[in-house]
Chain A
């Protein structure tokens, strides 16, 4: 079992690097086989031993470890569980009302994040690109990258301080003659808080790749567009946006792929039992039922379900974009 799972992925991923550099496939000496390669490059291969061990133990072993979703697991026993129970844990979570609640919450939060956090960096990058003063542009960039470099714990701490009953937000509300709102305790506020803080933390950093893509657009295209009588807006629409489209699509695919694993750590830091109705997502539910309540097999079954949906999402998004716009991750 272990060999099939560990060797399948390399096989599937083998093609892109090979396609990227077809010359290497000139197989004249390689045909002579592994023995010769090993004798010639054994020192190189020896450098790969520890890293490979890392991938095997800490990446592929846990993938196989997912079989405990179908086996009874006992703490202290084998990490692959004791005996087969079939789909018992899958049926269990499918009939669990809490699961459907966290499933809905995951879709909500993931969808809102995609809807709001994906376009903001694009707009910001376009705006920054129109700034003519380089020093000013660099200053705005430096400032907007900053939140990305801070620990998620600090971001959660700052968010809570901003929204505290004595915090600036409530202070402004007080000015407007509004009663203070206990944002952190109110379920109906959680999604706004989550998405808002996510934009605050990631928007600036998200512009990096777009700004890089913008610099690669040929100046001649703008020249040509101007000669054809295009104004600024038409230039943005017909030259700039198509220019950064591959970047947009790539990031969109990646975002869709991580759709299900919505900011686990941030939710864990920001939520509390009062906000569970809107804040509890699949990954936090997995954490609570697995690590906190010791139902490892049950939690693993949900986690596996989540991971498979993620994999399906990213592969279908990739397929779709390859068919429609011709850009894809692999």
Chain B
């Protein structure tokens, strides 16, 4: 009914331009890295590569694919992600379920124990000493155990459980199901959405993590691929931890970095379009309740 004013139309135009710029600035680094990974060494040096590969070749991919250490580290990442996510899910689900029981005596204390750790943590050095003296170094447990519960995820899950209809659980209890039975046979099947979201949250964060592995793994063959990439970036010569063909490797260091970045990001980029909305709704839920 009301015609948009002239100044508002101008604003809409400007807004469109600004948001287009935001999209371009966000996407350009990705496309550039992708283009570099397929480009020739000479063309990269000359700064010719922008959006599309120049001097298309797959040499760098071949070099990385032939690097045994890369595959071993990639496998480590998969293994660490699976184990750590499994541990995290078990602990988080159990605690969230307990916290969602509003009539439980001592519930406030149990919530407080978790929430306080959001505001104050032990710090790097005591953690390092603890993990080291527990003898967790060089094992997957150094990654899985110290990060087993994210309080944020815990609160999201707790909020979800609290919103389940209590009648179902009560009926199950009357029919003789134990607490464990109720959790496994009634609550969890009803909570597929939140369980899936939590698995995503945890697995993405474990897939992306590098620092605990960097801190607690001494041997190259135990590193996840993120640390492999980190070593590539830090080692000025490139191919820092790769065994064979060092000279050839250092020559194409920039390409190798691009290829490794692409390969490490690939699983995330593949699932991203499908999982993004789960993340978004999870964060919203956490924001409303947490």
Query: A10-18, A97-105, A111-119, A319-327: which lies at the B interface?
Result: A10-18
Chain B proximity of A163: nearest CB distance (Å)? 10
B125, A54: Cβ atoms closer than 8 Å: no
B47, A55: Cβ atoms closer than 8 Å: no
Chain B proximity of A12: nearest CB distance (Å)? 7
Task: Tell me the B residues contacting A by CB distance below 8 Å.
Answer: 2, 5, 7-8, 11-12, 15, 18-19, 22-23, 25-30, 32-33, 36, 44-47, 50, 90-92, 94-95, 97-98, 101-117, 119-130, 133, 145-146, 148-149, 178-180, 183, 204, 207-211, 215, 226-227, 229-230, 232-234, 254, 257-258, 260-261, 264-265, 268, 272-273, 276, 279-280, 283-284, 287-288
Residues in B with CB closer than 8 Å to A52 are 95, 110, 113
Residues in A with CB closer than 8 Å to B36 are 161
B123, A303: Cβ atoms closer than 8 Å: yes
The docked-state distance in angstroms from the alpha carbon of A307 to that of B276 is: 33
The docked-state distance in angstroms from the alpha carbon of A139 to that of B36 is: 25
Please name 6 further chain A to chain B contacts, defined as beta carbons within 8 Å, in addition to the given A51-B92, A162-B29, sorted by A numbering.
A9-B116, A10-B109, A10-B113, A158-B33, A168-B47, A171-B50
For residue A1, CB closer than 8 A to chain B, the reply is: no
Residues in A with CB closer than 8 Å to B145 are 54, 58
Q: How many A-B residue pairs have CB under 8 A?
A: 293
Could you jot down 22 A-B contacts, CB within 8 Å?
A13-B111, A13-B116, A14-B108, A41-B105, A60-B122, A61-B126, A63-B126, A66-B126, A79-B126, A127-B19, A147-B26, A151-B208, A154-B229, A157-B233, A161-B33, A161-B36, A161-B257, A161-B261, A168-B32, A168-B47, A168-B50, A307-B123
* Given A127-B19, A140-B19; A304-B123 close (CB under 8 Å): yes
For residue A187, CB closer than 8 A to chain B, the reply is: no
* Given A154-B261, A166-B44; A286-B125 close (CB under 8 Å): yes
Interface size on A, residues (CB 8 A): 100
Chain A proximity of B4: nearest CB distance (Å)? 9
- From B27, B46, B47, B103, A143 is in contact (CB under 8 Å) with B27
For residue A281, CB closer than 8 A to chain B, the reply is: no
A158, B129: Cβ atoms closer than 8 Å: no
B125, A79: Cβ atoms closer than 8 Å: no
Residues in B with CB closer than 8 Å to A65 are 122, 125-127, 129-130
A166, B47: Cβ atoms closer than 8 Å: yes
8 residue pairs, one from A and one from B, having the closest CB atoms: A62-B122, A65-B126, A13-B112, A43-B179, A151-B208, A10-B112, A51-B95, A37-B105
The docked-state distance in angstroms from the alpha carbon of A300 to that of B128 is: 10
Interface bits A161-185 vs B (CB < 8 Å: 1, else 0): 1101011101100100000000000
B258, A161: Cβ atoms closer than 8 Å: yes
Interface bits A129-143 vs B (CB < 8 Å: 1, else 0): 011100000011011
Chain A residue, CB-CB nearest to B99: A48
- From A37, A48, A142, A200, B98 is in contact (CB under 8 Å) with A48
A58, B148: Cβ atoms closer than 8 Å: yes
B128, A290: Cβ atoms closer than 8 Å: yes
B230, A269: Cβ atoms closer than 8 Å: yes
- Report which residue of B98, B126, B284 has the largest number of chain A beta carbons within 10 angstroms of its beta carbon: B126
The docked-state distance in angstroms from the alpha carbon of A287 to that of B128 is: 10
Interface bits A272-300 vs B (CB < 8 Å: 1, else 0): 00000000000100110011000010011
Chain B proximity of A158: nearest CB distance (Å)? 5
- From B104, B120, B128, B211, A41 is in contact (CB under 8 Å) with B104
B125, A68: Cβ atoms closer than 8 Å: yes
For residue A59, CB closer than 8 A to chain B, the reply is: yes
* Given A65-B130, A130-B15, A157-B257; A58-B47 close (CB under 8 Å): no
Chain B residue, CB-CB nearest to A123: B18
For residue A124, CB closer than 8 A to chain B, the reply is: yes
The docked-state distance in angstroms from the alpha carbon of A327 to that of B80 is: 40
